[in-house]
Amino acid sequence: MRLDRVLTRRLAPAAAILLIGLALTACSDPQSTIEPKSDATQTVQNVYVIVFWLAAVVFVAVLGATLVLSIWFRERPGRVASQFHGNTRLEIVWTLIPVVILVAIFIPTATAIGDLEPDADNLPPGTVRVEAIGHQWWFEFRYPDLGIVTANEMHIPVDRPTYVALLSEDVIHSFWIPQLVGKVDMVPGRENAVIFTPTEASDEAYLGQCVEFCGTSHANMRFRVFVDDQADFDAWVEAQLAPPVAAETLSELAQEGAALFQNPILALGVTPCVGCHTVKGTPAVGLIGPDLTHVASRSTLFAGIRDGFQGSDDPERVQRELERWLSDPDDIKPGVTVRQNGMPAWGEHLTREQIAAIAAYLRELK
Ligand code: CUA
């Protein structure tokens, strides 16, 4: 075979695999568990490292011995294997080695579990307390000390401990922010908790998601965590506590939307917007769906599955996405109209103009 053919046939696939491998290692994964950005994930990472190197030593020793011995004792003409039964000294050695390895893994693991355990009655000074409540399929975040209620986006200050009480309104969910804290279940009727101190403020949000199968749209139940420096966090708190946008400053279309949103009998037999959602300072005081007082200040739509209001350079797309959601939310988050307390498909009850007006109102709830 000519050399150039050898090169294309043999080396090209190998080079492609190598390049893909390099590309995969080069990109930093925001859901990586081995790039810790908090004290809690660093504690877990320290255990990973110990286990990794112990496993590497076992791997090399076992495979190396297998290779060396199978070559050393390979079949040769005239050679007969020596016949014996048992070797007490060897048996003791290969029983003790795994015991030592397991103890070497157990001690740091048990210590780490103890270190990660939050103590609700004895929180470190300066701790930010958050309640995360799982719903099918979105996350509610309450800050009981600050009086803030929001959804799907959590803001926390860097270098201060955050204590998150984990609750559920319906089925079992699970809370996980790979770079900040390990996964813990959110169980109805029970309060679990996590505590962690983020060590790196970041403009990019940390990604979190539900990690317990909780129904059709489990995969669409995501959230973002913004680790702010103290000044940014204070500004966010102030903005969340501010009254919602004044009715008279809304655009004409948004004012029509507000009237529809606040109408207590929007369609016969269907719970109106105000029955489920809160917009502070208006007749909307529902507690079933997400609090929408400052919904347009969030960076994503529909529990982290679409880019949203903040930073969007395409308000028309946001308008279209919201209209699509209001008309038929199942199209974006399957199962959402049929579950208990589900979001109605307003496309069946309202005109396109009415839906466009409500979407415009939501876009102005900064
Ligand atoms: Cu909630 Cu999966």
- Per-residue pLDDT tens over the stretch 64-108: 999 999 999 888 888 887 888 889 999 999 999 999 999 999 999
Distance 346 CA to ligand 1 centre (A): 25
pLDDT band at 7 (very low <50, low <70, confident <90, very high): low
* Whether residue 208 has its Cβ less than 6 Å from ligand 1: no
* Whether residue 333 has its Cβ less than 6 Å from ligand 1: no
- Strand ranges (E), the chain: 128-135, 138-143, 148-151, 153-157, 162-168, 173-177, 181-186, 192-196, 206-210, 222-228, 300-301, 306-307
Q: Is the dihedral of CA 210, 344, 323, 355 positive or negative?
A: negative
Nearest to 359 by CA among 322, 307, 315, 325: 322
Contact (CB, 8 A) for 256 and 323: no
pLDDT band at 341 (very low <50, low <70, confident <90, very high): confident
Contact (CB, 8 A) for 151 and 291: yes
With a CB cutoff of 8 Å and minimum separation 6, the contacts of 308 are 298, 299, 300, 301, 318
Beta bridge partners of 135: 138
Q: Which atom of ligand 1 is nearest to the CA of 214?
A: 2
Give the per-residue pLDDT at 5: 64
The b/e string for 43-53 (b: 16+ C-beta within 10 A; e otherwise) is bbeebeeeeee
**In this model, does residue 138 exceed pLDDT 60?**
yes
**DSSP-derived secondary structure letter, 48:** H
Tell me how far apart the alpha carbons of residues 347 and 355 are, in angstroms, rounded to a whole number: 8
Q: Which atom of ligand 1 is nearest to the CA of 171?
A: 1
For the segment 250-259, the average pLDDT, to the nearest whole number, is 90
Q: For 13-51, what is each residue's pLDDT tens digit? A: 666 676 666 565 555 677 888 899 999 999 999 999 999
Q: For 309-322, what is each residue's pLDDT tens digit? A: 766 678 888 889 89
Distance 53 CA to ligand 1 centre (A): 34
* Residue nearest atom 1 of ligand 1, based on CA coordinates: 173
